[in-house]
Amino acid sequence: MKRFSTLLRVTTLATLLGTALTLATAAQQAAKVDPKIVDAYIKGTWKSPPEGWQVRIDQDETQRVCSAYRNDPPTAEFEKIRARELATVVFPADGTVLGDWKAGERVAQTGVGGQFSDAPGTVAGGNCYACHQMAKAELSYGTLGPSLLEYGKIRKFDAAESKQAYAKIFNAQSVQPCSNMPRFGYHKFLTEQQMKDVTAYLMSPDSPVNK
By CB under 6 A, residue 181 contacts ligand HEC: yes
Query: Minimum Å distance from CB 101 to ligand HEC?
Result: 12
User: How many angstroms separate the CA atoms of 204 and 187, rounded?
Assistant: 25
E-strand ranges in the chain read none
CA angle 138, 144, 145 (to 5 degrees): 75
Question: Looking at beta carbons only, is 15 or 147 nearer to ligand HEC?
Answer: 147
Query: Minimum Å distance from CB 95 to ligand HEC?
Result: 20
95 exposed, middle or buried (CB, 10 Å; 0-12, 13-18, 19+)?
A: exposed
Handedness of CA 88, 91, 97, 102 (dihedral sign): negative
By CB under 6 A, residue 163 contacts ligand HEC: no
**How many chain residues interact with ligand HEC (CB under 6 A)?**
24
Point out which span in 30-38, 57-65, 87-95, 169-177 binds ligand HEC (CB under 6 A).
169-177
By CB under 6 A, residue 146 contacts ligand HEC: yes
Q: Give me the amino acid identity at 197.
A: D
Crossing angle of helices 192-203 and 101-109, rounded to 10°: 100
By CB under 6 A, residue 169 contacts ligand HEC: yes
Q: Taking a C-beta distance cutoff of 8 angstroms, is the pair 98, 162 a contact?
A: yes
By CB under 6 A, residue 145 contacts ligand HEC: yes
Q: Taking a C-beta distance cutoff of 8 angstroms, is the pair 128, 172 a contact?
A: no
Terminal C-alpha separation, the chain: 82
Query: Minimum Å distance from CB 194 to ligand HEC?
Result: 8
What does the per-residue mask of binding to ligand HEC show for 93-132, with x meaning CB under 6 A? ---------------x-----------------xxx-xxx
Which residues, other chains included, contact 146 with Cβ-Cβ below 8 Å and sequence gap of 6+?
A: 132
Question: Looking at beta carbons only, is 146 or 205 nearer to ligand HEC?
Answer: 146
Query: Minimum Å distance from CB 162 to ligand HEC?
Result: 11
Point out which span in 10-18, 20-28, 46-54, 174-182 binds ligand HEC (CB under 6 A).
174-182
Kindly list the residues in this chain that would bind ligand HEC in the complex (CB under 6 A).
Answer: 108, 126-128, 130-132, 144-146, 148, 165, 168-169, 172, 175-176, 179-182, 184, 198, 202
